[in-house]
Amino acid sequence: MATLVSFHAHPDDESIQTGGTLAKAAAAGHRVILVFATRGEHGEVDDGFLGDEERLEHRREDESRRSGEILGAQRVEFLGYHDSGMMGTAENDLPTAFWQADVEEAAERLAAILREEGADVLTVYDSDGGYGHPDHIQVHRVGVRAAERAGTPRVFEATMNRDHIRRVMQAAIEAGSIPAEEVPDVTEMDSFGRPESVITTSVDVRDFLAAKRASMAAHASQIDEQSFFLAMPEEAFAESFGTEWYIRHGVPEGHRDDDLFAGLG
């Protein structure tokens, strides 16, 4: 069996980006480790949601640990940086923000975990962080460098398949599920994820969607029952989230596979 370390910017990112993959890996007997750069201090929460004197970062840490249990993670760690907020906000400039972290220093914090665990596989994000969030971009930079420092042999960039998203939206329009005017412009779609042509690895997680959905629900401070994710009918959820997409480092152009662990013991 192998060890997978999945590196994320904020609590709940692991559910949306990689939840099915992590649950599938754990069910197969692999060791799964979750690492978060931040505790998501600048997430939005409704007035009155938190208890008296309760801090959002503490709630989100608890939610992360519950999510980890649901997905089968055997260890959950935080690197200790602060949420940088959305691109262009004042939080980007705070000295403790992950966006401001020295890449080599942050990479060594992660590399120490990779070495300790003898990690075989690391997941990060694509170089744009999926959609341009500063902390997600920094996960890519720090994660790739950490793998180099630790000698972790397999690195996969979690991403979104923008061509698949277009197909799902088009099917929803044709079925009358959503009005055409609510679909983002094609040029806007080009800022999400990567085209299918560069995606190397497509992991079928349909058998693990209950765990993925429960993991999302564990992050109640950020994903409530009426959210886009949890209000989606099961069939639509399966079509949208039944495959998780990655770009594997170091493979030849045109390489395609469906397993982060193929060829490992």
Domains assigned to the chain: 3-160+194-248 (3.40.50.10320)
What does the pLDDT look like over 210-251, one tens digit per residue? Answer: 999 999 999 999 988 877 778 778 888 888 899 999 999 999
Q: What is the pLDDT of residue 193?
A: 83
- Contact between 136 and 9 under an 8 Å Cβ cutoff? The reply is yes
pTM higher than 0.85, yes or no? yes
- Is residue 50 over pLDDT 90? no
Q: What is the pLDDT of residue 180?
A: 57
